[in-house]
Each structure stands twice: as structure tokens, then as C-alpha cells.
Amino acid sequence: MSLCSWLATPTAVLVGTSLGAKKGLLLRGGSTLERFSGVNTIVFDKTGTLTIGRPVVKKILVQDSQADKTPELSTEFCNIILLYWSSMKLAWLNSNGNWSEVDILKLAAGVESSTIHPIGKAIVEAAKAQNCLNVKVAQGTFFEEPGSGAVATVDKKKVAVGTMDWVQRHGVVGDSPFQEAEEFKNQSVVYVGIDGILAGVIYVEDQIREDARHVIESLTHQGINTYLLSGDKRSAAEYVASAVGIPKNRVLYGVKPDEKKNFISKLQEGQNVVAMVGDGINDAAALASSHVGIAIGGGVGAASEVSSIVLMQNRLSQFHSTHKLLRCELGDATVACYSYQRKLELLDALELSRLTMKTVKQNLWWAFAYNIVGIPVAAGTLLPVTGTMLSPSIAGALMGLSSIGVMSNSILLRWRFKSIEKDIHKLPLYVKAPLDAENTGNGDARLQRPY
């Protein structure tokens, strides 16, 4: 076997992975490129993947406002029951305190200060803004379940923060008495249970990535099916899916980490090559079970370790200013516009894997064809016909030439990828926004923080 056939695959893979590294894509070997080039289904996590992963606390509702409503009584023992109800309410207030929004935020932040989930970080940031992050978790009492919530003893109180199911498992009895207003419909909700009582709820909102819709539309145009998996409530998950262009019948909400993994396994049963995109420990099992796991922003340790591809930047796309401030006409007014070039890392990774595999096949066909022709000639096939025979030195030189051809074709992958990038990134050229806005990725201009 000639040297060029040995070089056909590794040279193309080497160029492909080095190109990926320059663009912030950590690709774990040639097998990853091969699998990703054949992907026909991509599943997205919501928080930190299709959203920017920096939620903010928008509203805190306190149970006291509900407790003040005395139930209507119409029995002949109305006065006795009313007196009993009032005494029980007074005892509850004396033992548990008349919770305020700051109290709820303080205790919830005390628990969430030990977590790494984006929503937990949002609660902690809100507490810092209110100067109420002044309680600590009792040693040995903190416990966290990915996808559900966390519980700990804070300020001598057992505080559970997470889903409704989570706080119920930690002593809260009954369903939530809070009626969800229309303004909170699309926001994530966090329940706070204190000593077995549902003390309040915290509404959190995250901003959808500006380029997410373009990425989904590009994948759909290529015939790739897209799904959204989220542990959030239905309305919040469907709102994000609708905003980015994922059909509602491909949205799974309220799912735990093991349920995400099971869904990935179910998709794989139908001859689908499935990629999973996530960023947190909640996604680790699904990332590991998919054909290609993609961690965004480096992910947490567990997510990045099990992923085949890591998008090192914390975004689906990356904005680079072309250092041009242009004047754009908007109706009768002239406004300032900034010109940006967008690097869609997920689409880059997909196209790079396809081009690399195409280059590998070209190299193998070149090596095969060259050897099919060259070896018989070197063995003297032409001697009876032409009376000539290749000398060993010439045959060796021609063999080296075939290797040069393989390596040259692999190096040309750089040029092919650069030329095709222009077709990948078909987004509006001009973005009417200041350089310090969310478009630049510095994170300073985001959702308003009421807390």
C-alpha cells in the first residue's frame, strides 16, 4: 500500500480540526467529523442554548397576599370556625414570619448560592442587588437534584427552591395557590418552600439569542429536524420554540435529565443520526447518549467532558465588528448603523465536518486511482508495448508526487471552507445597534433588572 493512501484521511482530519480550533470549535477527532457530517436531527436545550443563559429576576410573589384571604363560611358554626381560622393564621405568622419579597429572595439566594444553574445565579444576582445576600447554608444540609431544584437549611429554616414537584417532595402540601398572570406566562417560575409552606414564587426571564432563529431556519432548509427539550413549564418552552422557529409538536417541556436521555435514545431508533446541543449538567446524560454531543460556551465540566464538539464561545454566533460606522436611511431619517460579520459556530461545525469528509473521500479516490494506474506501470506493463520501463528512482518520485497531491488537496480544504462561509452566514449585514449592546456579546445591555 502506498504512502498516499495512509495520508488520505489523517491529513484532511488534521486540517479540519485545526480550522475548527481557529474558529473556536473543539472537535474531538475524525470520528466526530464523520458522525456530524451525517446528522439529520439536532435537539436543543433551552436555557443557555437558545437563550443567552443570563436570566434576570422579574417578579416575586409572596404567599402572604393569598393567606390574607379568609375563606367564605356559611355554616351555623361560622363564628367559631372563623375564630379558629384567625388563631391558626396568627400562629402561622408568629412561627414563620410575615414574608416579604426581600425575605423570599434572601432565603432562596442562600440556597442557590451553592448552585451553578443559570436561574440560581440570577436569584443570587438579584439578592446582591438588594443587599440581602447575607445568609449562609448550614453545613452538610445542601442537596441539589439537576432538573428539579435545591434544598438546604438557611437561617434555621428548611428552604426548598425549584419546581412545584420538588417543593412538594420537601414538605409543601397541596398545589400552588398563585394564579399566573398573563404577563408572567412566558417566564420561568421558581417555587420557594419554607418549613413546609409555599412561601412565594420567583419569576425569571431569559433573553433569546438574536441569531437562534437564523440557525434553526438554516438547519431546516438543509432538511435537518430540530427539537427543543426543556425542564421549564409548557408556556415558556413553547414561547421560545415559536420565537426561533421550532414547531410546537417538537417541543418537550418539564423533562428531567433522564427523560432527555430517553428521548434521545428514542430518536436514534428510527435510523436518525442525532446531535444534542446543551450547556449544563442537566444535559450531560443526553449529550453522552447522542451520536454527537455539542456543548455550548464550554459548558460545565460534566457537559464539556462528554461532548464530541465544544463551541468555545458562549453563543451560537459570534459578532465581529468590521470597524465601519455607516449611515443608513430609515424612512426620512438617517440613523447610525454598525456593520457586523457573524460567525455561526454551529453551522460552521456542520459545514466543516461535511467538507472534511468530502475531502477524505476525494483523497481516497485519488490514491486508489493513482495506484491502480501507477503500480502496473511501475511493474513494467508498458515494456511489451513501448519498450520502456520506469527506473526505480522515477517510480519512487512518482509515488511521492501522489502523496503531494493528497496533502495539497487536504490543504485546499482551508480555501474551500473560507469560500463557503459566505453562503453559511447569510444574515442581514447591518445591525442598528451600538457596539456595547447585546449584539457584541459583552452582556452589559440586557433585560432590565427590577431586582
Catalytic residues: 45
**Long-range CB contacts (< 8 A, 24+ apart) of 403-408?**
403/2, 403/3, 403/4, 403/7, 405/4, 405/366, 405/370, 406/4, 406/7, 406/8, 406/11, 406/363, 406/366, 406/367, 407/7, 407/11
Question: What's the angle, vertex CA 41, arms to CA 257 and CA 233, rounded to 5?
Answer: 40
Residues 209 and 427: beta-carbon distance below 8 Å: no
Q: What is the spatial order of strands in the sheet that 25-27 belongs to? A: 25-27, 309-311, 292-296, 274-278, 41-45, 225-229, 251-252
Question: Which are the contacts of 217, defined by CB distance < 8 A and separation ≥ 6?
Answer: 245
Which grid cell sits at 219?
Answer: 438547519
Q: Are 278 and 45 within 8 A, CB to CB?
A: yes
Task: With beta carbons less than 8 A apart as the criterion, state whether 105 and 132 touch.
Answer: yes
Q: Using only C-alpha atoms, what is the Rg of the chain? A: 30
Measure the CA–CA gap between 114 and 205, rounded to whole angstroms. 21
